């Protein structure tokens, strides 16, 4: 097993990814020399550069700094989304460098800690951040590797060197979560996704089943009620959670008052009363129930749980209120799966009844669009108006016959259109909107500030 003590330099291929950047920050905090490559500049890569991490944006072995071409003492971390013909990746392979996938590194970091791993095809970032925020209010505290930028921590990395606890997202892509052996785990959802990796839904479910067998026998699993997982082989404790179904942990007496949710949480040992959540969206009540279940099983005091959730500010790009005026509400969200989109839009409708909702959606991946086009269309039909951007390809090459129109033609609303990225801002300038939401996991976030400026200048 590799020892990080012998590593002086760490080079990241795909440094700007949310999971990779947390690891880059981790090694930077340890005093290692850190550098890397990413395909495009972003606000996150800009922040990493400010923190002293050397990042460039051209795939060329000539751009690898000399320090990181030293075989001894250099670790190369890469993401499976990097294509096999990547020049820098092949340089390190050809020269027999020590190379690990992101998930392998996370597995090594958490191996000697008590870890809480949050898994699921959606919802895991918010729940992991909630758990981390609650634990940070306790004497035990925690470290955390998050899949989003927490507004409370102002980072996707939380470091507490004296804590034995670490919270991490358990990513199902490429079966990455099988690198983790947590003390406790959460499973939020198991919807069809990453079928380019798994082939079919049954294989995805099987992989989740394998993941939960890696939970410590002394620990526990918190799982959304009704998920199709065989729990018979588990030796750890198991607790179910739900928003409003009868589960081991579920919410009751839910009410909304001036955009703040108030609710009680039923637990196996009684009622946790008067929880408040100032973070919008019905889906976040259920996320809070899951986080409360973990905190409750870790013996966190009820007042600590209440106080932490009352001050929880959420994550960037998770039901993120960008602008709110008398005439306009603009929200940005990472939703890129049909179930996420549906939950987000239903929450919007509850928060802003009677308001016309305009959505801008950027599909992510050709394979996901091909596999889930009809489901995307059903979810997006909850909008009053849809502006659909071209597919963000990420790691993929185009698939013949698959385009944004694969979704649009099945959307059952009158006001719908496909828009090129280069035309989006001009299109918005011509429209009057009441509630606007941008959604997607690609580079749609680069439009946030320009869109915000349009409406500030118009005011």
- Give the model confidence (pLDDT) of 323-365 as tens digits: 999 889 999 999 999 989 998 999 899 889 999 999 999 999 9
> Are residues 195 and 280 both part of a single domain?
yes
Of the residues 37, 67, 101, which one is the last residue of a structural domain?
101
Cβ–Cβ < 8 Å for 82, 15? no
The number of distinct structural domains making up the chain is 3
pLDDT value at residue 197: 72
Dihedrals phi, psi of 54, to nearest 5 degrees: -85, 115
Does residue 28 register a pLDDT over 90? Answer: yes
Strand partners, 385: 358, 415
- For 368-398, the pLDDT digits (tens) are 999 999 999 999 999 999 999 999 998 788 9
> Are residues 302 and 193 both part of a single domain?
yes
The better pLDDT of the pair 107, 192 is held by 107
- For 40-84, the pLDDT digits (tens) are 898 899 999 999 999 999 999 999 999 999 999 999 999 988 888
Q: Is residue 243 part of a domain?
A: yes
Strand partners, 256: 261
CB atoms within 10 A of CB 154: 10
Cβ–Cβ < 8 Å for 385, 359? yes
> Are residues 163 and 299 both part of a single domain?
yes
Of the residues 81, 101, 121, which one is the last residue of a structural domain?
101
> Are residues 243 and 374 both part of a single domain?
no
> Are residues 364 and 244 both part of a single domain?
no
Q: Is residue 2 part of a domain?
A: no
Structural domain for 229, as ranges: 111-310
> Are residues 144 and 283 both part of a single domain?
yes
CATH value at residue 208: 3.40.1190.10
Of the residues 310, 345, 365, which one is the last residue of a structural domain?
310
Cβ–Cβ < 8 Å for 323, 161? no
Q: Mind telling me the catalytic residues?
A: 124-125, 169
> Are residues 74 and 130 both part of a single domain?
no
pLDDT value at residue 1: 65
For residue 266, the 8-state DSSP code is E
Q: Is residue 241 part of a domain?
A: yes
> Are residues 150 and 196 both part of a single domain?
yes
> Are residues 147 and 291 both part of a single domain?
yes
> Are residues 393 and 452 both part of a single domain?
yes
**Averaged pLDDT for residues 86-97:** 97
pLDDT value at residue 104: 94
**Averaged pLDDT for residues 73-98:** 94
> Are residues 328 and 299 both part of a single domain?
no
> Are residues 151 and 48 both part of a single domain?
no
Strand 260-267 to 249-257 pairing: antiparallel
Q: Give CA–CA dist 388/377, Å, rounded.
A: 11
């Amino acid at each position: 097993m590799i020892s990080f003590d012998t590593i002086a330099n760490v080079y990241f291929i795909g440094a700007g990814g949310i999971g990779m950047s947390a690891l880059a920050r981790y090694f930077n905090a340890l005093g290692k020399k850190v550098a890397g490559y990413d395909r495009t500049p972003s606000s996150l890569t800009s922040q990493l550069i400010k923190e002293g991490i050397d990042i460039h944006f051209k795939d060329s072995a000539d751009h690898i700094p000399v320090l990181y071409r030293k075989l001894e003492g250099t670790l190369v971390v890469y993401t499976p989304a990097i294509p096999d013909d990547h020049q820098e990746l092949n340089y390190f392979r050809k020269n027999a460098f020590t190379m690990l996938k992101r998930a392998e590194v996370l597995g090594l970091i958490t191996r000697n800690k008590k870890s809480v791993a949050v898994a699921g095809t959606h919802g895991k970032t918010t729940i992991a951040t909630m758990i981390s925020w609650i634990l940070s209010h306790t004497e035990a505290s925690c470290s955390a590797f998050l899949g989003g930028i927490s507004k409370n921590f102002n980072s996707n990395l939380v470091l507490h060197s004296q804590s034995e606890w670490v919270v991490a997202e358990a990513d199902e892509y490429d079966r990455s979560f099988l690198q983790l052996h947590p003390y406790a785990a959460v499973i939020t959802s198991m919807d069809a996704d990453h079928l380019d990796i798994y082939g079919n839904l049954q294989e995805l479910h099987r992989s989740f089943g394998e993941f939960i067998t890696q939970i410590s026998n002394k620990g526990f699993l918190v799982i959304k009620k009704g998920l199709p997982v065989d729990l018979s082989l588990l030796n750890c404790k198991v607790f179910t959670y739900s928003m409003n179904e009868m589960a081991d942990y579920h919410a009751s007496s839910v009410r909304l008052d001036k955009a703040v949710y108030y609710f009680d949480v039923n637990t196996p040992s009684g009622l946790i009363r008067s929880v408040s959540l100032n973070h919008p969206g019905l889906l976040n009540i259920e996320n809070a129930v899951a986080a409360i279940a973990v905190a409750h099983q870790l013996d966190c005091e009820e007042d600590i749980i209440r106080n932490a959730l009352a001050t929880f500010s959420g994550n960037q790009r998770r039901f993120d209120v960008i602008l709110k005026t008398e005439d306009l509400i603009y929200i940005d969200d990472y939703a890129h799966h049909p179930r996420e989109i549906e939950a987000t839009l239903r929450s919007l409708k509850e928060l802003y009844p009677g308001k016309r909702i305009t959505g801008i959606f950027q599909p992510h991946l050709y394979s996901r669009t091909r596999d889930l086009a009809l489901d995307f269309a059903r979810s997006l039909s909850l909008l009053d108006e849809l502006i659909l951007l071209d597919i963000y390809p990420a790691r993929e090459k185009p698939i013949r016959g698959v385009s944004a129109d694969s979704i649009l033609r099945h959307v059952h609303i009158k006001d719908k259109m496909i828009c090129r990225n280069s035309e989006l801002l001009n299109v918005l300038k011509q429209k009057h909107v009441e509630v606007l939401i941008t959604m997607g996991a690609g580079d749609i976030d680069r439009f946030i500030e320009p869109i915000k400026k349009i409406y500030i200048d118009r005011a």
